[in-house]
Amino acid sequence: DQQVKQNSPSLSVQEGRISILNCDYTNSMFDYFLWYKKYPAEGPTFLISISSIKDKNEDGRFTVFLNKSAKHLSLHIVPSQPGDSAVYFCAASAGLQGAQKLVFGQGTRLTINP
């Protein structure tokens, strides 16, 4: 049973436009969500996170929205730049105490076209 799902394996966006990446989860115990960016043959890089007590968190060009009732979160990148082309993973955890095990989605490959 996949608790975190990214239903779009790929997304293509024009440079300068908005990129919207989506993520759905099923476990209502998840209370912390993160987005990572990954280039080929490299480790994931942390982008932005959000606690379940918030519905929005913004950091520069990146904004994450959380809709708890729909168990859905999204990452908005605006404006999109060629360097944003990568695979994006969303991840979720239940509680920060103890081990904090992250559950990852399958990833969405974002391609920014010039």
**Contact footprint for other proteins (CB under 8 A):** 6, 32, 34, 36, 41-46, 49, 51, 89, 91, 96-107
CB of 83 to other proteins, least distance (A): 18
For the chain, the residue count is 114
Residue 25 or residue 89: which is nearer to other proteins going by CB? Answer: 89
Distance between CA 101 and CA 41 in Å, rounded?
23
Distance between CA 22 and CA 44 in Å, rounded?
18
Residue 42 or residue 114: which is nearer to other proteins going by CB? Answer: 42
CB of 32 to other proteins, least distance (A): 6
Token output for 105: 């989605």
Residue 9 or residue 16: which is nearer to other proteins going by CB? Answer: 9
Residue 65 or residue 79: which is nearer to other proteins going by CB? Answer: 65
CB of 18 to other proteins, least distance (A): 24
Phi, psi for residue 6 in degrees, rounded to 5: -115, 105
The dihedral through the CA atoms of 52, 58, 64, 66 has a sign that is: positive
CB of 98 to other proteins, least distance (A): 7
Other beta carbons within 10 Å of 24: 18
